[in-house]
A and B are shown apart, each in its own frame.
Chain A
Amino acid sequence: QKEVEQNSGPLSVPEGAIASLNCTYSDRVSQSFFWYRQYSGKSPELIMSIYSNGDKEDGRFTAQLNKASQYVSLLIRDSQPSDSATYLCAVTRLRNTPLVFGKGTRLSVIA
């Protein structure tokens, strides 16, 4: 059974700090990894994708992937109150197969 696990939180960080969100997955042959952000009552939006081991940076966001340890993480630098949301980790084994989502981590950035 494919599983994606995240700490549900809430994770509270002060404004300006680095927020670190983690995700582990059970299917060793997973190939593609994604972070979606979801504000309360809204639909998810894609913020990062990563496919190979290492780090990928996009603005204040950095995704990190370690396939040997089966974890993927998201770092948010200079956290802002507007970053307060639920962050969903999603994984897929193959292209053209549906994503499997984790339950999400709720992040609260305190001004």
Chain B
Amino acid sequence: DGGITQSPKYLFRKEGQNVTLSCEQNLNHDAMYWYRQDPGQGLRLIYYSQIVNDFQKGDIAEGYSVSREKKESFPLTVTSAQKNPTAFYLCASSILQAGEKLFFGSGTQLSVL
């Protein structure tokens, strides 16, 4: 079955630690996105990529980094510079010419120890 796989489902970060959230898709979609969702809030864009080896900052990119070395993969690193990382992180993908129809992964809940 085609889809988007995020892992892990739950992740705990110690202070000063970098952690990486995985996102893999087998839908052959060009564009991939990372959103952050805080309780009772909507989705805020962290980074997005429309082509391999290229990505753009979203509204809240500070303290995060990404890479897009393969079309299928778009990992997100939450660095120690992100002082309030506790949130639900959602990865999504879309066909480039229909960017609004997002297909979401099941999400990763990140908490700080």
Is A60 among interface residues, defined by CB-CB distance under 8 A? no
Is A19 among interface residues, defined by CB-CB distance under 8 A? no
Interface string of B25-58 (1 = CB under 8 A from A): 0000001010100001111110010100000001
CA–CA, A96 and B45, complex, Å = 14
How many A-B pairs have beta carbons closer than 8 Å: the answer is 59
In the complex, are the beta carbons of B104 and A45 less than 8 A apart? yes
Q: Which residues of A contact B (CB under 8 A)?
A: 4, 6, 8, 32, 34, 36, 42-46, 49, 88, 90, 92, 95-104
Beyond A4-B42, A49-B100, 13 extra complex contacts between A and B, CB < 8 Å: A34-B100, A43-B106, A46-B101, A46-B102, A92-B100, A95-B97, A95-B99, A96-B31, A96-B96, A98-B48, A99-B43, A99-B99, A104-B41
